[in-house]
Amino acid sequence: MILSSPAVRKIADADVDEVTQLFVHSLDLSIPGVTFSTDPQYAALDLVAASLRKRLFPPRSREAYVLEDPATGALLGYGNVKPEGGPAGDADELDMFFVKASEGGKGYGGLLMKAVQAEFAGAFG
C-alpha cells in the first residue's frame, strides 16, 4: 500500500474550527504543567475561533496554509504569513506555524515550510 503525502493548500473558512483545535492543543504543549484547554478563556473555542478567523485571513494575514492528510481530510498543521507594513514597516513574516505534535518527526513541518517559501520566495531568507 502506498501512503500519500499530506497536501498543503490555502486555508478556507471551513478549516477554522479544526485549526482552532490544533491551536489550543499546541498551547497545552507549550508550557509544561499548564493546560490552556481547560482554562475558560481558551476553552471557549468559539471565542478562540473568532480571534483566529481575524488573524488568519486578510487584512491581518497575507496568506494562511493548512497541511491536510489526503486519506482522512484531517488537518495536521497550519501556518500563516503576516503582511508587510506592520508598525515598523516590517517585511512579510511567518506569524504562526504549527504541526500536530503526534505527527512530529515525519517531515511535515518541512513540507509546509517549503510550500510557504515557494510562495514567498526571498521573503524568508
- Containing structural domain, residue 45: 7-119
Question: At 90, is the pLDDT very low, low, confident or very high (cuts 50, 70, 90)?
Answer: low
Give the CATH number of the domain where residue 38 resides. Answer: 3.40.630.30
* Tens digit of each residue's pLDDT (9 = 90 or more) over 17-62: 999 988 888 877 777 777 777 777 666 788 889 999 999 999 889 8
Domain assignment of residue 80, yes or no: yes
Check pLDDT > 80 for residue 5: yes
> Which sign does the torsion angle of CA 12, 18, 104, 55 carry?
positive
Average pLDDT over residues 62-85: 90
Task: Quote the pTM value.
Answer: 0.80
Strands laid side by side in the 75-82 sheet:
7-10, 63-68, 75-82, 93-99
Identity of residue 113: M
Number of domains in the chain: 1
Burial of 69 (0-12, 13-18, 19+ CB in 10 A): middle
Chain mean pLDDT for the chain? 83
